[in-house]
Structure 1
């Protein structure tokens, strides 16, 4: 089953990382995991933006047209998949500094399973109130960072003290990657690719 490690990562993450490390899956397995889980925020974001409307303050909910919501959902989906692959590349690239030689599949597994809470929290968009989605997103980010710190020493086969520094480097690169994707989105928005709001 594509999603068989998800429950273990929530219930007993260190044991689940050991299981993932012992039986590395194929590239196709990790790819299917990313492609399926990335659908959650894209579909929920589309439905919230086009059919429910976002509540930002005390005013009426803000909706966008279905065409705009579809384009934004598709762009979000591909940006999320690209982000996970870019993070996997950075994990593999930085490994040499920490005397580790993971395969790209190992790096992709680490990136994919670490990003899973942030992707799955996309379901919170079905209650599109800004403060609620922000709190849910912060919780997911915190848990993803915890998964990264607990998974790096196991997946990369390095001592925990070195794994802490490695994981901190990955977090920093991940934040830079996230800011880069957001900046690209803002540039595209200003070039006329912004949504069409409904009154």
Structure 2
């Protein structure tokens, strides 16, 4: 019996989660030979793990509000329940459709079609993403959801093994599946948005774009990042992952003042688990009633996961009622930007050196002041530190 077939013990589920995250190569070998059914994979693995982001999002929405990039709103209890249910159902549908994509593309990359093996890949590769969904429960730590990018690596390792495709085709196979999955996600979001509005939740935008396609993916960059990720995974598995930069070192990157704001507070911290560690330094800057929180976070070994974002040049933007959000590259670095002109609340963050996250969040501050704050940290210096 497979470790995730109906009736298996909870400990079997926990052990499988730990093994696929910590020892992906060896675990894919075990999974390849396991008997399984689509129903068994869903009941024993996909459904329990899919509940994590759905429940976390439900709690986070009711307590802190929905949204991102500093743009939040609190739904009614009914609205939050409908949103969680739709999100949960859409996630299950996405897993099933992704298995069809994996199976259908197999011959294109010299692999063998096999519905059950494709279902295994779709189910188990999503593990990191589902676990990272727990961070939706508390918006201030949502940056840690970047850990979910590890699912790209799990997909990269599982596809050639279970679908019998040559290792040399793994990068292109993975890229194709991810691109189609992104488009699929956009379509599912569009189809479920009317159901979201039934609960009083309208996340539509007046004007928005999502550019996804063959030209948006840099295969050479994906290959390089995949190799970095594989090396990082081996270090984590062996317990020899590099230590994160000491918080006091990061503290030195926080300027005494930015854009006319004076630094009034500094906090630092670090921690880690399961071979992964990180550290952070944050400064609070004030000018009258306006406030900016500027942070520098070392993602440690998880930076290799975040670095995968640079291989997918996905750009998005949305604007409605004086609020806007943007995601894309600026000077070759992934950035996220948002601003609410009414409340003057905004956020600007930059991924530096595929390892450090520099973020500025402000109340009463302009977006230009937030950008100036991140620039004052010195991204170039952090990039040099990441290579040191």
TM range (shorter): 0.7 to 0.9
Number of residue pairs the alignment of both structures matches:
190
TM-score where L is the length of structure 1: 0.84
**Structure 1 position 87, deviation (Å):** 0.4
Equivalence for 2:184: 177
Equivalence for 1:12: 23
Is 1:144 equivalent to 2:151 in the alignment? Answer: yes
Matches within 5 A, 1:1-150: 1-2=3-4, 3=13, 4-32=15-43, 33-54=45-66, 62-129=73-140, 132-133=141-142, 135-141=143-149, 143-150=150-157
Q: Which runs of 4+ in 1 moved over 6 A?
A: none
Higher strand share: 2
Equivalence for 1:154: 161
Relative contact order (C-alpha < 8 Å, sep 6+): which is higher? 1
Q: How far apart in 2 are the matches of 1:157 and 1:104?
A: 13
Unaligned runs of 5+ in 1: none
Q: How far apart in 2 are the matches of 1:152 and 1:57?
A: 33
**Structure 1 position 66, deviation (Å):** 0.7
Q: Any conservation in 1 of the 2:64–2:74 contact (CA below 8 Å)?
A: yes
Q: Any conservation in 2 of the 1:98–1:162 contact (CA below 8 Å)?
A: yes
**Rg comparison, structure with higher value:** 2
Q: How far apart in 2 are the matches of 1:57 and 1:91?
A: 33
TM-score where L is the length of structure 2: 0.45
**Structure 1 position 98, deviation (Å):** 2.3
Higher helix share: 1
Equivalence for 1:195: 201
Q: Any conservation in 2 of the 1:24–1:106 contact (CA below 8 Å)?
A: no
Unaligned runs of 5+ in 2: 5-12, 203-388
Q: Any conservation in 2 of the 1:13–1:147 contact (CA below 8 Å)?
A: yes
**Structure 1 position 119, deviation (Å):** 1.4
> Which deviations, in whole Å up to 9, do the C-alpha atoms of 1:161-184 show, x marking residues without a partner?
022221121111111112222333
